[in-house]
Amino acid sequence: MATIRMKPVKTPDLFLECFCISPDVFAGKTPTEISRLEVREGKARNELGDFFDIAGSSGKTAEETDIFIDGDCSRVKYIGSKMTAGSVTVNGNADMYVGGWMKGGSIHVRGNVDSFCGLAMEGGEIQIDGNAQNYVGCAYRGDWRGMRGGTIRINGSAGNDIGTFMLGGTIIIEKDAFIHISTHAEGGTVVIKGDVQSRVGGQMVKGDIYVFGTIEHMLPGFKEIGTVDKNILGQSMKFRHFIGDLGERHPKKKGREIYGNLYLRAS
Amino acid sequence: MAELLIKNGFVVDPSQKMNGDVADIAIRDGTIVEKVGSDAKVIDAKGKVVMPGGVDIHAHVAGPKVNAGRLMRPEDKLFKSPNAQEHYRVEMGFSIPSTFKTGYDYARMGYAFVMEAAMPPLHSPHVHEEIHDTPIIDEAALPVFANNWFVMEYLKKEEIENTAAYVAWLLSATKGYGIKLVNPGGTAAWAWGLNCLSIDDPVPFYDITPAEIIAGLIKTNEYLGLPHSIHIHQNSLGVPGNYKVTLDSLKIAEGVKANNKFDREQVMHSTHIQFHSYGGDSWANFESKAKEVMDYVNTHRNITVDLGCVTLDETTTMTADGPFEHHLNSLNHLKWANTDVELETAAGVVPYVYDKDIKVCGIQWAIGLELGLYAKDPSRTFITTDHPNAGPFTRYPRVIKWLMSQKAREATLDSLKYCSKVIDATDLHGIDTERTLYEIAQMTRTGPAKALGLSHVYGGLGPGLDANVAVYDLDLNNMPTDPEEIEKAFSRALWFVKSGQVVVKDGEITHHGNKRTVWVHAKVRENHQVTRDIQDKFLKNYTLGIGNYPVWDHLAPNPYVIEVDGEA
């Protein structure tokens, strides 16, 4: 494994669009070549080297390439977007679209991330040590094809619109979430270990939601059908089992309708 | 005097029966002339194909439903919006491109004229603003008439003269080009949550049938002598087994002769015929009836059609056929927009993915091409994708490739998941016809220009015509064996001259062109009854005053008005 080390040396006035910070792009390039990659700040074209000191070496393929960014990336968007292998570590915060459209490999952000983390992700792993803003693992604006696979783990709390249009994969929020969980989902699993305020599973067709804490306001489209014992993330617990959203269409499998499942920890 | 000489190209111009003759095209002040002086700027087209600028008879490129599509589909722009080049505007979108991308992409393909295929009259100011915002290409728009209260009321009483007076008034008020019919009666029925799925289903409340509306508007069109014939999107679009309705509708034109001074021969243009050539009675036994439909079209010279080829892309459907869009939404469960346009029409918008892994999509793709290959008279069968309904217009080069190369068709057929089922349900696999460049020029240039009554402006390279000339990177003596090269050549013209101005060089835009909006002004005798009816409806039914209805001149600042004397 080879590592490219990047150190932020200049804070952009606006926000940097860095589609290039990905093992797939860096693989096979020297630090000098990498520093010449195009990044945009608004309509201005810049080079990556204008904002980062770049050292180390890259591997021949994405799989053999690690990227380590030592510093704050609060104004850097699209870190690790579309990556298929390798790893990216950010020793600080990151802005929007961390791991957007990601297909494989891993991303570790040791601080907080802004919105759209793991947007339309297809595979791989994202670990955020801090909090996430809104739209974790959701679909791109307007799109109906959300997260398909992989895992996103937020060690802190998250905002609204988590797993919108989710089709597969897993999102784990260790603390609280605000509103709109798995809206329009047709698959996938969202686990919220803290509390949620409201609008959980609106227009959900299929998929699973686990809430370990409380839901302040339940949606009227969910019906309680019983209590179940579930082992989730290595913990065995008793859950109240709801199905829904009853206002939405539901596909049939072997003559039985498939619903979205909402498991709320029984107190 | 701006002079231009396009030298030594293989000229393919069916309007002059030129099939690759090596010739020069001389241009002076935007018009094709016999010869130019020695100071003329020379474009060397040696070893390249030279064609008239393309004419698109049917595309949805401007207006409220196109904009609704843009608004509801931000994802259509994602990663498909190249950054602006110096001096040029940013281009956005794929199936519903921004106005700038629309103009640029048509120009890159060497197209000079595009017909916006369905203009809701009430929203015609918006249509014209968007047309004005689309650079380079000349455009016109067809207002929709077949679900209009005036038209249904007059035709129920068989008042052709009154219908004609109303049509003439509306064409002038909306700066429209001709008579468009969308799901005659069916869209009006949609206001009651109903539809007209055959031409004999009565329209609720109006007690008129689609057949009567179609026949009445054909009569009206020929009474006025408009440059274009009626332009019809038939009932029962996209429904398995609808080819019978299609044949029934086409038969309404039987025996009717064209009356006009524009060299037009047809009395009915049946659009996106692919969507109307379906057999079977469900999606399970869905099959092609392209042969049945095309056999009829082949033997009836007073009908023209365009294909509406499915291009197997993710696209956005949009039509004034409101009930159809509702039906489509119940099939794919994606986003749906629906609107009612007061006394006139309705519209719906739904995204759609023509997936290679879905049997029905593969069959639809095959039907479009079968129709193009079965056509005996390519000058009456035009290439379209009903942009963006069956695919974006930027896929015309791909459709041309499929029509010109059996190898390309077979390659796509092999890539379908249900290849053998598509082969069973269609004839495409057995058809070895390969369209020639001459036939392609008939299907994309000469033919549509003639059907629109515009052969005195577009679709040819004869002296006196508008100087719209495309040069493609194809050597007639040494045509590429790889069909991909055909698609590439038609996607990016080497040169495109629009109204005498070079607008494209090596596939890149070099100039914003001299755009014009074409419309028809039909003169009719003063008709007091119709004038009173119009004023009456604006007082009683419309939500706006009649003074605010017509399109202001400044919204269409580059007019090209075609005068029609409907009194004669």
pLDDT tens, per residue, chain B with 568 residues: 589 999 999 999 999 999 999 999 999 999 999 999 999 999 999 999 999 999 999 999 999 999 999 999 999 999 988 777 777 888 999 999 999 999 999 999 999 999 999 999 999 999 999 999 999 999 999 999 999 999 999 999 999 999 999 999 999 999 999 999 999 999 999 999 999 999 999 999 999 999 999 999 999 999 999 999 999 999 999 999 999 999 999 999 999 999 999 999 999 999 999 999 999 999 999 999 999 999 999 999 999 999 999 999 999 999 999 999 999 999 999 999 999 999 999 999 999 999 999 999 999 999 999 999 999 999 999 999 999 999 999 999 999 999 999 999 999 999 999 999 999 999 999 999 999 999 999 999 999 999 999 999 999 999 999 999 999 999 999 999 999 999 999 999 999 999 999 999 999 999 999 999 999 999 999 999 999 999 999 999 999 999 999 999 999 999 999 999 977 6
A239 belongs to a structural domain: no
State the best of A143, A167, A248 to mutate against chain B, taking most chain B CBs within 10 Å. Answer: A143
* Subunit contact A142:B73, Cβ cutoff 8 A: yes
A31 belongs to a structural domain: yes
Count structural domains, chain A.
Answer: 1
A254 belongs to a structural domain: no
pLDDT value, residue B568: 61
Cβ atoms < 10 Å from Cβ of B561: 14
Q: What is the dihedral of CA B420, B426, B430, B432, to 10 degrees?
A: -120
Tokens standing for residue B371: 């129709």
Shortest CA gap A213–chain B (Å): 33
Point out which residues pair with B565 in neighbouring strands.
Answer: B523
Shortest CA gap A97–chain B (Å): 14
Q: Are B509 and B88 in contact (CB under 8 A)?
A: yes
Domain interval for residue A18: 2-219
Residues 48-87 of B with CB under 8 A from A: 72-76, 78
Q: Are A58 and A65 in contact (CB under 8 A)?
A: yes
Q: Are B65 and B317 in contact (CB under 8 A)?
A: no
Measure the CA–CA gap between A83 and A87, rounded to whole angstroms. 9
Q: Which residue of B has its CA nearest to A205?
A: B333
Considering only CB atoms, which chain A residues are within 8 Å of B335? Answer: 142, 144
Shortest CA gap B322–chain A (Å): 22
Handedness of CA B210, B213, B218, B221 (dihedral sign): negative
- Does residue A107 surpass a pLDDT of 80? yes
Nearby residues of B292 by Cβ (< 8 Å), 6 or more positions away: B243, B247, B277, B279
CA A39, chain centre distance (Å) = 23
Considering only CB atoms, which chain B residues are within 8 Å of A249? Answer: 333
Considering only CB atoms, which chain B residues are within 8 Å of A140? Answer: 74-75, 78
Measure the CA–CA gap between A142 and B69, rounded to whole angstroms. 11
Measure the CA–CA gap between B431 and B427, rounded to whole angstroms. 7
- The domain limits of chain B are 3-51+458-509, 142-435
Shortest CA gap A144–chain B (Å): 7
* Subunit contact B333:A142, Cβ cutoff 8 A: no
A261 belongs to a structural domain: no
> Is B90 an interface residue toward A (CB < 8 Å)?
no
Shortest CA gap B125–chain A (Å): 28
Cβ atoms < 10 Å from Cβ of A250: 17
A73 DSSP assignment:
B
A132 DSSP assignment:
B
* Subunit contact B75:A142, Cβ cutoff 8 A: yes
* Subunit contact B333:A249, Cβ cutoff 8 A: yes
Q: What is the dihedral of CA B520, B525, B526, B531, to 10 degrees?
A: -60
Shortest CA gap B78–chain A (Å): 9
State the best of A39, A144, A164, A205 to mutate against chain B, taking most chain B CBs within 10 Å. Answer: A144
> Is B199 an interface residue toward A (CB < 8 Å)?
no
Measure the CA–CA gap between A79 and B76, rounded to whole angstroms. 23
Burial label for B563, CB within 10 Å (0-12, 13-18, 19+), is: exposed
> Is A141 an interface residue toward B (CB < 8 Å)?
yes
Helices (H), B206-354: 210-224, 243-251, 290-299, 322-332
Q: What is the dihedral of CA B505, B510, B514, B515, to 10 degrees?
A: 90
Q: Can you name the CATH fold of B3-51+458-509?
A: Urease, subunit C; domain 1 (2.30.40)
* Subunit contact A142:B72, Cβ cutoff 8 A: yes
Q: What is the dihedral of CA B201, B206, B207, B211, to 10 degrees?
A: -50
State the best of B329, B331, B333 to mutate against chain A, taking most chain A CBs within 10 Å. Answer: B333
B428 DSSP assignment:
G
Q: Which residue of B has its CA nearest to A44?
A: B83
CA B284, chain centre distance (Å) = 30
Burial label for B10, CB within 10 Å (0-12, 13-18, 19+), is: buried
Considering only CB atoms, which chain A residues are within 8 Å of B75? Answer: 140-143
Pairing of strands A2-8, A16-17: unpaired
> Is A144 an interface residue toward B (CB < 8 Å)?
yes
The number of helices, as runs of H, and strands, as runs of E, in chain A is: 2, 22
Count Cα neighbours of B313 within 13 Å in the Cβ-side half-sphere: 23
State how far the alpha carbon of B281 is from the alpha carbons of B244, B268, B289, in Å.
Answer: 12, 27, 12
Shortest CA gap A210–chain B (Å): 26
Measure the CA–CA gap between A239 and A215, rounded to whole angstroms. 13
A196 belongs to a structural domain: yes
Shortest CA gap B71–chain A (Å): 9
Q: How many residues does chain A have?
A: 267
Considering only CB atoms, which chain A residues are within 8 Å of B72? Answer: 142
Q: Which of A140, A144, A249 sits opposite B78 (nearest CB)?
A: A140
Dmax of chain B from CA atoms?
A: 69
Residue at A242: amino acid letter: F
**Torsions phi, psi of A164, nearest 5?**
-65, 135
Shortest CA gap B495–chain A (Å): 30
pLDDT value, residue B1: 52
Q: Which residue of B has its CA nearest to A186?
A: B333
Helices (H), A193-249: none
> Is A143 an interface residue toward B (CB < 8 Å)?
yes
pLDDT value, residue B87: 77
* Subunit contact B74:A249, Cβ cutoff 8 A: no
State the best of B75, B80, B86, B355 to mutate against chain A, taking most chain A CBs within 10 Å. Answer: B75
Q: Are B278 and B286 in contact (CB under 8 A)?
A: yes
Q: Which stretch of DSSP H or E encloses residue B181? A: strand B180-182
A62-95 per-position pLDDT tens digit: 999 999 999 999 999 999 999 999 999 999 999 9
* Subunit contact B75:A249, Cβ cutoff 8 A: no
Q: Which of A140, A144, A249 sits opposite B334 (nearest CB)?
A: A144
A145-195 per-position pLDDT tens digit: 999 999 999 999 999 999 999 999 999 999 999 999 999 999 999 999 999
State the best of B78, B94, B314, B350 to mutate against chain A, taking most chain A CBs within 10 Å. Answer: B78
Q: Are B327 and B350 in contact (CB under 8 A)?
A: no
Handedness of CA B154, B159, B162, B163 (dihedral sign): positive
Angle between helix B124-133 and helix B160-174 axes, rounded to 10 deg? 40
pLDDT value, residue B85: 72
* Subunit contact A141:B74, Cβ cutoff 8 A: yes
What CATH number did the domain enclosing A164 receive?
2.160.20
> Is A38 an interface residue toward B (CB < 8 Å)?
no
Name the residue with tokens 């810049």.
A46
